[in-house]
């Protein structure tokens, strides 16, 4: 593990994760002292401390508007925008915010974008965050303090709320039986599932573990990652004290002028990834086989047709199309062949060469 240098953010601690410790509620409380706390908090880091220890990584696709919003509401961190071939002002906004840029010539999807950004990071930590999400300096400090308390852990997620303050918490995957108890923990806890919208990673061990599956273009990347973490008996730490605001479904604007095409790409990708992760992890047995999953989708389409809900009908049809593509052993339909190529600009600490 990469050692922490410079300012310390909290009392070091240790956590042992056990698969059986993930209860039916999908979480395990991590207990420390007699009062249940997990070490005293350290001094608040300065911006110089941020620069030495954490780099923002955000994957963008036609995300100019979202990036402007994020810049106005988020901690000022050194960072890099991984641009998936946007046609709007995404790259210009990255420059306006003083962020570095990895500019892809094509859309390589979320997971590969994150991995490209992380491979360019030289700090111990990276804050992986969607363009339509934001965290204050105090919230980032809380995540760093948790990372200090649990030096053997590499993946930390904050308490995520929407713009009205409603908490979004994932107890389990859509590929698992629905949990009755869905209340988020009130303190630090091991959790069974995560949202990839916002997470703090300890870069070196996260990359060594493999990070996001490069076969997935879009959707279910975080589910697949969480399943692998569980199988390897590695903890995912929920930090209730650290709050992130996530607008949801606003990372990509409609600057391309073709929202219908964009929705088709998303929905087909959703169906493909659903089948892929179900197959790879062996999940979904409690909800039926792949054949039953197809029947459920066709049944939903029939209901939408009868009720005149043609927008949802189109979405379900595209998802079924993607699901069937994977059953035919076809690769992710919108993932370009080969390896990503990008041009780098103004990266913090001259992280990588200007071309790759």
Arithmetic mean of pLDDT, 265-286: 87
Give the whole-number percent of the chain exceeding pLDDT 90.
64
Task: Show the tokens assigned to 105.
Answer: 């010539």
Give the H or E element holding residue 146. helix 137-149
Query: Which structure tokens are listed for 231?
Result: 């199988």
Q: State mean pLDDT over 200-222.
A: 97
Q: Is the pLDDT at 3 greater than 50, yes or no? A: no
Cβ-Cβ contacts under 8 Å for 227 (sequence gap 6 or more): 173, 277, 281, 283
Domain boundaries, the chain: 19-252+337-350, 259-327
C-alpha distances in Å from residue 120, one per residue of 114, 352, 354: 10, 6, 11
> So what's the pLDDT on residue 21?
33
Residue 75 confidence (pLDDT): 92
Pairing mode of beta strands 54-60, 79-84: parallel
- Is the distance from CB of 268 to CB of 297 less than 8 angstroms? no
**283-296 residue pLDDT tens:** 755 455 788 888 98
Q: Which of 72, 77, 71 is nearest to 47 (CA)?
A: 77
| pLDDT class of 258 with cuts at 50, 70, 90 | low
pLDDT of residue 23: 31
Q: Is the pLDDT of residue 37 over 50?
A: no
Residue 263 burial (10 A CB sphere; 0-12, 13-18, 19+)? middle
Computed over every residue of the chain, the mean pLDDT equals: 82
What is the model's pTM? 0.82
Phi/psi at 282 (nearest 5 deg)? 75, 15
CB atoms within 10 A of CB 336: 17
C-alpha R_g of the chain: 20
Position 101 scores a pLDDT of 96
DSSP, res 154 = -
pLDDT tens for 166-192 read 999 888 888 887 776 678 888 999 999
The distance from CA 198 to its chain's CA centroid, rounded to whole angstroms, is 6
pLDDT at 183: 84
CATH number of 19-252+337-350: 3.90.550.10
Percent above pLDDT 70 for the chain: 79
Write the pLDDT tens digit of every residue in 100-144: 999 999 999 999 999 999 999 999 999 999 999 999 999 999 999
Give the pLDDT confidence score for residue 351 in this predicted structure: 52
Provide DSSP, 27-64.
Answer: EEE---STTS--S-B-PPP-HHHHHHHEEEEEEESS-H
């Amino acid at each position: 593990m990469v050692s922490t240098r410079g300012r310390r953010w909290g009392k070091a601690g240790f956590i042992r994760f056990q698969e059986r410790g993930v209860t039916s509620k999908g979480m395990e409380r991590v207990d420390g002292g007699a009062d249940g706390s997990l070490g005293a908090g350290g001094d608040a880091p300065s911006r110089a401390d941020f620069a030495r220890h954490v780099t923002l990584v955000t994957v963008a696709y036609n995300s100019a508007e979202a990036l402007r919003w994020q810049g106005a509401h988020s901690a000022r961190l050194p960072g890099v925008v991984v641009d998936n071939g946007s046609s709007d002002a995404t790259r210009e906004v990255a420059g306006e915010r003083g962020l570095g840029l990895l500019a892809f010539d094509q859309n390589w999807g979320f997971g590969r974008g994150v991995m490209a950004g992380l491979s360019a990071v030289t700090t111990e930590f990276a804050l992986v965050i969607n363009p339509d999400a934001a965290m204050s300096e105090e919230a980032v400090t809380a995540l760093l303090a948790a990372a200090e308390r649990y030096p053997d852990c590499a993946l930390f997620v904050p308490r995520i709320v929407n713009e009205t303050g409603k908490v979004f918490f994932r107890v389990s995957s859509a590929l698992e039986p629905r949990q009755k108890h869905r209340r988020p923990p009130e303190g630090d806890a091991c959790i069974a599932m995560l949202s990839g919208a916002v997470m703090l990673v300890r870069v070196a061990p996260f990359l060594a573990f493999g990070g996001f599956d490069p076969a997935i273009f879009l959707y279910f990347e975080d589910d697949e990652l969480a399943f692998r973490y569980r199988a390897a008996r590695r903890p995912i730490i929920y930090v209730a004290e650290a709050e992130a605001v996530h607008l949801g479904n606003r990372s990509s604007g409609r600057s391309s002028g073709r929202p219908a095409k964009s929705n088709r790409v998303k929905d087909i990708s959703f169906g493909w990834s659903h089948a892929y992760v179900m197959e790879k992890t062996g999940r979904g047995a409690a909800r039926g086989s792949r054949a039953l999953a197809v029947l459920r989708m066709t049944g939903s389409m029939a209901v939408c047709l009868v009720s005149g809900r043609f927008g949802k009908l189109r979405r379900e049809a595209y998802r079924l199309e993607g699901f069937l593509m994977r059953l035919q052993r076809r690769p992710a339909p919108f993932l370009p062949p080969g390896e990503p190529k990008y041009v780098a600009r103004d990266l913090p600490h001259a992280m990588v060469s200007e071309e790759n």
